[in-house]
Chains A and B, each alone.
Chain A
Amino acid sequence: MSVKHSLLALLERGPAYGYQLRAAFESATGNTWPLNIGQVYTTLNRLERDELVEALPENDSGQRPYRITETGRRHLAGWFASPVQAADRPRDELTIKLALAVTTPGVDVTDVIQRQRGATLRLLQEYTRLKSAEEHAELAWRLVLESMIFRAEAEIRWLDHTEAVVARAELPAPFPFAVGEPDPAEATPELDRSRTN
């Protein structure tokens, strides 16, 4: 997530100081991504250094509001105009886990899938509850909530699909590591049975 662009976008509404920016960010995203105030100030400093924002004179209550500059505006427009690249997103642990589950001896893949589905469904139930409790919530927050609902839904559909594919497939015997060509730097650690997450 880009704090830098988020702050620029908020400043496009008008000048604001650190605490106001943090509050606006959190109300727009429903506290999904808590932002600490230190992060806000260091980001503002960097934005000021790069001349994307400028500091205004201190007001009567001692706060220093920032204002977006022309360069900042162009930068922000560029951000909105470019799609988010897959590489900018974090790697998906679940995908990796299931890919490993089908090749790890003794792992019950169906069980791994069922556990994940149960957990994701519970999350989906919580989001749905939030959504119905806040029918008149801010548009930005509703959008964030819908996005989380769609993701959870997609994950469950993918799990259903994976379960069906796995059920139909003959699970391949996992390819054993070659013996006799020792590479001391890459010794395979023993599978830790106490930690499956």
Chain B
Amino acid sequence: MTVLHLKGVSRTHGTGENLVHALVDADLTIEAGELVAIMGPSGSGKSTLLNLAGGLDAPTSGEVLVEGTVLASLNKKRLAALRRRSVGYVFQDYNLVPSLTAAENAALPLELDGLSAGKARKLALAALEEVGLDAKQADRFPDEISGGQAQRVAIARALIGERRLVLADEPTGALDSHTGEEVLKLLRRRCDAGAAGLLVTHDARHAGWADRVVFLRDGKIVDSSAPLAGADSLLEGAGS
């Protein structure tokens, strides 16, 4: 089943002299159970693609479909509900609410969705345990835990509940290589269990966990899993 479908999606910023083509005519589908990595140089449009996929930003042209629903067709309220229920995010800067404990942060999407506080906490503790944080750490505030631990709270929040689309932008930035690998395994397991995952990374080792790697350059997709062009095009004009 297709969970995410980008159809000719473009995103520009600014006008005239300042026009930036952040993403150009991107086509991408991700099936349930698939983990796709996005790689590419800085400024190539990776975060742009991820934000569009999660409905945090709207395309200038083209369509984004999550589980068959065109995001642009939803009103604000329904878009917010879809983002809460179906999509999990881990951002480059992990975006925890400073006045909430780790467990409350992780439970936030569930509570916003109307789950009772008790039930939400139980699920949050389980999600935190999955990323290697114990009950004591769960009751600390973001400024009372390390950067790597905060990152893990953000990941727990992204994976909690029945997220069918998990979007992660450099989720292992602040983690040591061992914890980083654990997070990737977690993401992999989530996808093996039926979620669709989109992972932005600079790290080839992490892309190694993906089923497919999509390369972006200057806002354009160069899909590595597409068949490679014939060798002839490499030497255009040479020798003739």
Tell me if A45 counts as interface (CB < 8 A to partner B): no
Of A107, A132, A160, A164, which contacts B235 at CB under 8 A? A107
Please, which residue of chain A has its CB at the minimum distance from the CB of B184?
A128
Rounded to whole Å, the gap between the CB of A155 and the closest CB of chain B is 8
Interface string of B214-240 (1 = CB under 8 A from A): 010000001010001001111111110
- Please classify how large the interface on chain A is, using the bins under 10, 10 to 19, 20 to 34, 35 or more: 20 to 34
Q: Give the chain B neighbours of A164 by CB distance below 8 A.
A: 41
Question: Does A193 lie within 8 Å of B224, measured CB to CB?
Answer: no
Tell me if A104 counts as interface (CB < 8 A to partner B): yes
Tell me if B185 counts as interface (CB < 8 A to partner A): yes
Tally inter-chain residue pairs, CB-CB below 8 A. 76
* Most central of B215, B224, B232, B236 by chain A CB within 10 Å: B224
| 8 Å CB interface, B168-197 against A | 185, 188
Question: Does B239 lie within 8 Å of A124, measured CB to CB?
Answer: no
**In the complex, what distance in Å separates the CA atom of A163 from the CA atom of B41?**
10
Question: Does A127 lie within 8 Å of B239, measured CB to CB?
Answer: no
Tell me if B208 counts as interface (CB < 8 A to partner A): yes
Question: Does A111 lie within 8 Å of B208, measured CB to CB?
Answer: no
Q: Give the chain B neighbours of A112 by CB distance below 8 A.
A: 234
**In the complex, what distance in Å separates the CA atom of A194 from the CA atom of B232?**
7
Tell me if B1 counts as interface (CB < 8 A to partner A): no
Question: Does A106 lie within 8 Å of B237, measured CB to CB?
Answer: yes
Rounded to whole Å, the gap between the CB of A134 and the closest CB of chain B is 14
Once A118-B224, A149-B205, A157-B204 are accepted as A-B contacts, the answer to whether A190 and B210 lie under 8 Å apart by CB is: no
Please give the residue numbers on chain A whose beta carbons come within 8 Å of chain B beta carbons, in ascending order. 104-108, 111-112, 114-115, 117-118, 120-122, 124-125, 127-128, 132, 149, 152-153, 156-157, 160, 163-164, 190-191, 193-194, 196-197
Please give the residue numbers on chain B whose beta carbons come within 8 Å of chain A beta carbons, in ascending order. 41, 185, 188, 203-205, 207-211, 213, 215, 222, 224, 228, 231-239
Interchain residue pairs A-B with the least CB separation, the first 4: A106-B238, A128-B208, A156-B204, A118-B224
Query: What are some 11 contacts across the A-B interface (CB < 8 A)?
Result: A105-B237, A106-B236, A106-B239, A107-B234, A115-B228, A118-B215, A118-B224, A128-B208, A153-B203, A153-B205, A157-B204
